[in-house]
Structure formats: structure tokens, C-alpha cells
Chains A and B, each alone.
Chain A
């Protein structure tokens, strides 16, 4: 019989769950965190880029001992067709600052570190334990959880669901709908070992500088998706992801897509001589603002991926996860101190606070983008990359043809592929969705 009662139970030990549990525990609340993996990080997958700001607001001195790989000093954005890429590179020495803004990380190690901090803060962390259901009282109020271990209900004033994209607990308890195949991406990634010196020489890096490449184009074979390549200390993370419903329709397997990306002439030399040490796959919620489920109820709050908090356009997720985890925890602490019950009405302060942060503002700004890209995937992920690539080649190839003719050829290639009206429509829609 478990007589004790917790102030809060956090389901899941990813970035959102750890942020929530840490914040609650440091404020003196009695916290139980339950994780199904062997340890925090054992089942967590991300590219992965850590955005310092979100973590700094939780653990200001995290740079002292967190396992960070490289700080990002160069961003490359590539538009790719089958044989080329058209790139935009931004590199700045300003990113070599005392407190860098973005880092590459290995999640298994990073999450383990974060979890150790959660334990130090005083939370009880139970691993290898899966929450199977939320327990409600006769009024429908959530009062605790049951797990896959034998024994009683564990009771708490509030349950914070940080269970990730495929959150089965919330789904089973009808708190959130099943994720729709067209609002979730499936990403596959590999970690390739390369000696430190090779990584640095290959990407023009000094010390702990790092490069991030984000790519889109024909590499996703007409499906809505993007690919990436990140430099770690002595490895490279490379991956690709597309919307699940596109995978279903296309019959292309994710690993075949990744294999093709790795063999693209622009990528292959970057990985040459490396040894694949790890492979992983993960779902990414990409439905954006419109896919956000109800976030609070009597005795429960949803944070992180479970709440669809991912900015697909800017490839941000873990920072939204940590921020929602932190704000949910702060809301709970605030109510706890006022001795106010964790009712739906009181907890809705969380959504109000969120709406004032970049999380909701950004997701709202881009609310039209997912549907736009998905609805025009043939153009955005096939036609336009090809046209841009052709135009570049025509422009740069010196072959005795005069420049006026070249300009005309480029213009003609665009016109014959897509009507002027169609193109203007796409541009207009993109601008409107962006604003």
C-alpha cells in the first residue's frame, strides 16, 4: 500500500519532463518522475541541436558540466536536386562567444546528465517503469497513475504528461487524439564516427566550432520532409525525415531514403571513411499550431512533443519542450504555494503564460505552413529545387552562349514547368503563411 502522495508526477524523462521535474524539485515540491527507458536518454532521439536559451532559463550554469559536443558557428541551408545543391551559408565568428547560442549534442549523454541534475534537485526518478493509465476519481479528476509494475495507484495532485509525440497515456485517457499520419514526420538518423581532426579539417572548424546543414529538395523524392547533417565532437549525425502519410503513399522506406541521401554527391565526401556507430528513428510532431491538443484538465497538463510543440520551419523542438515543461512546472508551483487546487480552470494559467512566450507566438505565426507545404509538396520538394538547380547551372556554365539568352532560358524553364499564375500563387501563399 502506498500511503504517500506526491505534489506532482511527471510522466517521461525527455527534455520537457526533465525541465518540469527539475523546476518542481528545485522549488521544493515532492516530485515523482516515471520513465519507461532504462535511463533518461536511453529511448530519446533527436538530431540533435541544443538551444542554449531555453536550458539557461532552467539551469543557468549548465555549460559547466553538461556534455556538449560543438557550438554552432556555421549554418548551411541547402536546396538539393539529384546531382547538386544550391546553398546559403552563414558563418560568423560572433558565434564564438563566451556563452554560445546553439550546440550539437548526443541525446543519450545529454539526457543522462539532465536526469542526474533532476535527481540532485530532489526528485525521485523511477526508470524502467511505464505509466499505463491515469487514475481518475468519480468527478473525472486525475488523481494519480498506474504503472506496468504490480501494486497500487500512485497518487499526486497533478500529473504532467511529458510522454512524447506518441503519448499513449494521454490518448488512452481521451485527453488527446491519436496523432494523425499527416501531422507527424518519421525521421531516421545515423551517427558516424570520424576522428576529431578529420571532422575539423573537413568542415573548416577550429576547436569546438560546429557546422549545421539543413537540406531539402529532391532528396525526399517528392515527399514533405527535410534532411540534416550535424558535426559532433568526433562524429557526424546525419538524418532525413518525411511526413508519415507521404511514406505510406510513396511506398519508399525511410532507410532507403537515408541511404540515398548519404550517397548524394554533396554528402558522400563529408561522410567518407566514417564508421556508423548508431542508428535511430523517431516521430516528430509537425502539425504545428492547429494540431495542438487541449493542454490542461482537472489534475493534468501536457508538455513537450505530446502537445505538438515543434516548430517545423525552424527545426526547433527541444527548446519548446523545455520551455513548456518549465512553464507548466512554474504554474504548478504557483498554484501549490497559493494552496489552490489543480483544476482545469486554475491550470489554464499555463496556456495563458505560454501564449506570451515565443512558443505560442512562433507556432501561431507559422500555422499555415504545414498544410501549404504538404498540399504543394510536388512543387516545393521536387519542381522548384530542380528549377533552381538548373538555373544555377545555366548561369554558371561558360559555354559560348550569351547572357541574355541564358536569362531567357532560365525564365523559359520556369514558365514551361509551372504557369506564372501558379508560381505567383505559391509565392503569395508562402509569404502569407510566413507572416
Chain B
């Protein structure tokens, strides 16, 4: 079984600041990390490989420094890492990114075997769109399973996979056929700590590096800024909340306090009281 995990190197958003005057994101000196959601995808891929055999290839698109993030995935036990880097890819939105990644996945299929499963995280912490995974699936005509919380069963002979998917109001149990693209939800597993053997291998491993020409892209207008219809019109920092917490005090123990609290709510949101009466009457 060949599994590909697409990851993204992102700025550690906990350490990002917005410039107070120019409203631009201050990226300088902000450390980079593997998009945390992608780690759940990677761990799930490694578990499947450990159980069913095969290989895990990790793919990312980014600047040359993204090789460090790839190396880290090798430390966790991935078998191969591929870096897609080219200045033509700079400024890609989700459309151009999924185009470049899908093209690279074509070469991965040709060189290392067709992926049965492609994993991505549910979204990135810097873009937050959750569009790249589905974009790849669409371009490669893979079945897609988004927001997967658990892989229930994989049947290699039948070429089928059953997963649990988190949906509004419940969990869906879905079955589909390979090849499939899965976007993994957070907190679905816990990232392993690679063995010392993996760490030594990772320290020495060569990261496979491809540019636009290597993956056979001829139409460069589909890449990078030129291939990206999304336009950032404005960046601004959210204004800090001005309302302050209010301390509600009352006599008469818990009952008195509850009374005071309800009064305060009714006073501030007049609609709530009548809604509640209506609700009580209808039941």
C-alpha cells in the first residue's frame, strides 16, 4: 500500500504578531512548524502502513527551508520525503496549490507507485480554508472523505475503506473505494516519537526535491501568483474586545444568586424571556 501525506510548513501562529502601524503580518523571526493538523494525518498514515505494510511518502510545497519539516516527518518514521519548490509557486492560493500538488502526485505515482490513500490535515492554521485537500481529490478524481475522525476498517482485497466522519449533529459512517483522499480531524490520535534508528536515518536522508519542470508543468500561468484568482484586499488586526466582565453579587445563597443572574440576562436580552415562556407553553 502506498500512502502519501501532504503537509505544510506554517509559521507558528502562537508567535505571530500584526504590525501595529502597517497591519501586515510580521513573519520575520517567527519559527516555523509542521501544520499541527497534518500531524494527525501523518500518524494515521504511519499506523496504516505499520498494520498493512507498504510505504509512506510525505509531500510538501514550500521554500527550500521546508525541507526541515520534511526531515522531521522522516524522524517520525515516514519512508520518503518530497519537496516541491520553485519560485514559480510563490504566492499560490488554494487553487494553484492543489494544481501543483496534484501534478507532483502524478510524478509520485509514476516514480514510486500510485498512492492508494492521500492524507491531509483538515486545514492549515495559517490559511484555515480546508480547500487544498478536496482540490487535490477533485483534480486526481480520487474519492474524498473529509473531517475523518476514525478509520474503522480497510479491506485491501475489496479495495474498500470505512471511516467515521464528523458531521454536524453526529457521526457518519462512510464506506468508499480506493483510491481515496482523507482529510484527518484533530485529536484523532497521538503522534509517535520516532525510534533512534528512524532519527539517524532521517538525519542522513536526502529529501527528494522537484521544481515545476520536474513534475511536468508546462503551463506556468496556472502556478503561483498568476494562477491564483484569490486577491488579498486588506489585512487588519481584530480590535480588542472592549466590554468587560461584570461581577454579579446577590444575597440569599445559590438561589438568590441564580435569581440575580436570570434577572440580569432577561434585562440585557429582552427577547429571551418571552422565548422561554413560549417554549414552556409549547411543551
Query: What A residues does B204 contact at CB under 8 A?
Result: 124
B197 touches A126 (CB 8 A): no
Give Cα distance in the complex from A151 to B195, angstroms.
6
Least Cβ–Cβ distance between A124 and chain B, in angstroms: 5
A151 contacts B203, C-beta separation under 8 Å: no
Q: Which residues of B contact A128 (CB under 8 A)?
A: 75
B195→A124 contact, CB < 8 A: no
Residues 112-138 of B, flagged 1 when their CB comes within 8 A of A and 0 if not, give 000000000000000000000000000
Within 8 A of A (CB), among B190-226: 193-200, 203-204
Complex Cα–Cα for A2 and B198 (A):
11
A147 touches B196 (CB 8 A): yes
Cα separation A150 to B196 with both chains bound (whole Å):
6
| Chain A residues within 8 Å of B195, by CB | 149-151
Q: Is the CB of A124 within 8 A of B197?
A: no
The bracket for how many chain B residues form the interface is 10 to 19
CA distance A128 to B192 in the complex (A): 13
B193 near A126 with CB under 8 A, answer: no
Shortest Cβ distance from B132 into chain A, in angstroms? 26
B199 touches A129 (CB 8 A): yes
- A150's nearest neighbour on chain B, judged by CB, is B195
Whether A306 sits at the interface, judged by CB under 8 Å, is no
CA distance A1 to B195 in the complex (A): 11
Secondary structure of the B contact surface, majority rule: helix
Cβ-defined contact, B203 with A126, below 8 A: yes
Chain B: which residue is nearest A42 at the CB level? B31
Measured CA separation A151–B75 after assembly (Å):
13
A407: Cβ under 8 A from any B Cβ: no
A2–B197 contact, CB under 8 A? yes
Q: Count chain A residues whose beta carbon lies closer than 8 angstroms to a beta carbon of B.
A: 15
Question: Is B200 within 8 A of A152, CB to CB?
Answer: no
Q: Is the CB of B203 within 8 A of A154?
A: no
Complex CA–CA separation, A129 to B198 (angstroms): 12
Report the minimum CB–CB distance from A301 to chain B (whole Å). 22
> Which chain B residues border A129 with CB–CB below 8 Å?
196, 199
Q: Are A124 and B200 in contact (CB under 8 A)?
A: yes
| A125 within 8 A of partner (CB) | yes
Contact B203 A149 (CB under 8 A): no
A143 to chain B, nearest CB (A): 16
Contacts of B193 in A (CB 8 A): 148-150
A215 to B199, CA, bound (A): 45
What sequence of 0s and 1s flags, for each residue 21-52 of chain A, a beta carbon within 8 Å of any chain B beta carbon?
00000000000100000000000000000000
Within 8 A of A (CB), among B54-88: 75
Distance, CA A124 to CA B200, complexed state (A)? 8
Question: How many angstroms between the C-alpha atoms of A57 and B195 in the bound complex?
Answer: 37
Closest beta carbon of chain A to B27's beta carbon, Å: 15
Closest residue of chain A to B68 (Cβ to Cβ) is A39
Q: Tell me the smallest distance from the CB of B193 to a CB of chain A, in Å.
A: 6
Chain B residues contacting A126 (CB-CB under 8 Å) are 199-200, 203
Complex: how many Å from CA A125 to CA B68?
13
> For the complex, what is the distance from the CA of A125 to the CA of B199, rounded to whole Å?
10
* Residues 93-142 of A at the B interface (beta carbon under 8 Å): 124-126, 128-129
With both chains docked as a complex, state the minimum distance between the C-beta of B64 and any C-beta of chain A, in angstroms: 13
Contacts of B199 in A (CB 8 A): 126, 129, 149
* A2→B196 CA distance, assembly (Å): 9
B12 nearest CB across to chain A (Å): 11
User: Once the chains are docked, how many angstroms separate the CA of A1 from the CA of B75?
Assistant: 16
Q: A149-B193, A149-B194, A149-B195 are in contact. Are A2 and B203 (CB under 8 A)?
A: no
Q: Which of A339-372 contact B (CB under 8 A)?
A: none
Chain A residues positioned under 8 Å from B196 (CB to CB): 2, 129, 147, 149-152, 154
B197 close to A152 (CB less than 8 A): yes
Chain A min CB distance to B18 (Å): 14
Closest to A149 in B: B196
- Cβ contacts under 8 Å, A148 to chain B: 193
How many Å from the CB of A198 to the closest CB on chain B?
A: 16
A128 CB to nearest chain B CB (Å): 8
* Residues in A189-217 with C-beta less than 8 Å from chain B: none
Interface residues of A in 150-169 (CB under 8 A from B): 150-152, 154
User: Cα distance A154–B193 when bound, in Å?
Assistant: 17
Of all chain B residues, the one with the shortest Cβ separation from A109 is: B29
Q: How far is the CA of A166 from the CA of B199 in the complex (A)?
A: 25
A125 with B203: in contact, given A149-B194, A151-B195 (CB under 8 Å)? Answer: yes
Taking the closest CB of chain B, its distance from the CB of A84, in whole angstroms, is 36
Give chain B residues whose Cβ lies under 8 Å from the Cβ of A154.
196, 200
Which chain A residues border B203 with CB–CB below 8 Å?
124-126
A151 to B199, CA, bound (A): 10
Nearest opposing residue in chain A for B192, CB measure: A150
* Closest A residue by C-beta to B204: A124
| Cα–Cα distance between A148 and B194 once the two chains are bound (Å) | 10
Q: Which residues of B are found within 8 Å of A32, using beta-carbon distances?
A: 200
Chain B residue nearest to A153 in the complex (CB): B196
Please give the distance in Å from A169's CB to the nearest CB on chain B. Answer: 15
For residue B203, which residue of chain A has the nearest CB? Answer: A124
- Bound complex: CA of A124 vs CA of B194, how far in Å? 17
Other than A129-B199, A150-B196, A151-B196, give 9 A-B pairs with Cβ distance below 8 A.
Answer: A124-B200, A124-B203, A126-B199, A149-B193, A149-B198, A149-B199, A150-B193, A150-B195, A154-B200
Q: List 15 A-B contacts (CB under 8 A).
A: A2-B196, A2-B200, A124-B204, A125-B203, A126-B203, A128-B75, A129-B196, A149-B193, A149-B194, A149-B195, A149-B196, A149-B198, A149-B199, A150-B196, A151-B197
Which residues of A are at the interface with B, using a C-beta cutoff of 8 A?
A: 1-2, 32, 124-126, 128-129, 147-152, 154
**Top 6 A-B pairs, shortest CB-CB distance:** A151-B196, A149-B196, A151-B195, A150-B195, A124-B203, A151-B197
B residues sitting closer than 8 Å to A (CB atoms) are 75, 193-200, 203-204
